[in-house]
Structure 1
Amino acid sequence: MNVTPGAPSVPMRVLHNEARDAMLIGYTEGDPLREVSRFEMDPRRDLEANLEEVFEALNEPGPRLAQFDAVRRYRAERHRSLSKGDVLFYGELAYAVAGAGFVRVYPTRESITFR
């Protein structure tokens, strides 16, 4: 989210889960996903730290995170907060927001509506 120009980066894509019960039961294989945001992350940081930062930034960002362009764009586009069942693609690896933390998932290309 805070990548210095010219520094290494990895793409992060944020997908909202559009299944009716996703916020209750989490991600289920085949759930319809809609890409709502994308930006770059620093791959030199721990994966879990990057995922947690995105979750925090797209829910209740404090002053440190609210300053980032990606967060301002996300809010300006009036997206809802990240919830259980939503998916974050870190490069080619997908992680669903779980009740606590994240779980590795394998969504199909057919289940995703791209931005």
Structure 2
Amino acid sequence: MNVTPGAPSVPMRVLHNEARDAMLIGYTDGDPLREVIRFEMDPRRDLEVNLEEVFEVFNEPGPQLVGLEVVRRYRAERHRSLSKGDVLFYGEVAYAVAAAGFVRVYPTRESITFR
């Protein structure tokens, strides 16, 4: 989340799943997704670590993360917490929040509303 200027970075996009039952059953192909925020991540870190950190900061960020500019922006826009079925794009690869961890998914461009 805190990428040093000039360091390698990869774009991260957070998309809320707007299907009525997504929080119960998770992501399903064709679910409508709305991009809510984008920022840069450090690709030298483990992918799972990056995904878990994004999930943590957009749910209940601990004191060490609540001061991050991206968290302040997310909260200022009054977005809900991340939930099962929401999607994280790490570069061009998408992962849905699952009951435990993340699962690779393949949303279509037509299902996404961009910022």
Bin of the TM-score, shorter chain as denominator length: over 0.9
Aligned equivalents of 1:91, 1:64: Cα separation in 2: 25
Deviates more, 1:73-82 or 1:62-71: 62-71
Once the two structures are superposed, residues 36-93 of structure 1 have per-residue CA deviations (whole angstroms, 9 ceiling, x without a partner) of 0000000000000000000000000001111111010000000000000000000000
Structure 2 counterpart of 1:87: 87
2:6 is aligned to: 6
- Where has structure 1 moved over 2 Å in runs of 4 or more? none
2:21 alignment counterpart? 21
Q: Which residue of 1 aligns with 2:76?
A: 76
Tell me the TM-score normalised to structure 2 length: 0.99
1:33 alignment counterpart: 33
For 1:2 and 1:64, the matched residues in 2 are separated by: 12
Specify every segment of 5 or more residues in structure 1 that has no aligned partner in the other structure, as ranges: none
SS of 1:35's partner is strand
> For residues 38 and 66 of structure 2, what CA distance do their matches in structure 1 show?
16
Matched-pair identity in %: 89
Which structure 2 segments of 5+ residues have no match? none
Distance 2:39 2:103 in 1: 21
In 2, Cα distance between equivalents of 1:105 and 1:7: 28
Report the counterpart of residue 112 of structure 1 in structure 2: 112
The aligned length equals: 115
* Letter matched to residue 65 of structure 1: L
**TM-score (normalised: structure 1):** 0.99
User: How do residues 53-72 of structure 1 correspond to structure 2 at under 5 angstroms?
Assistant: 53-72=53-72
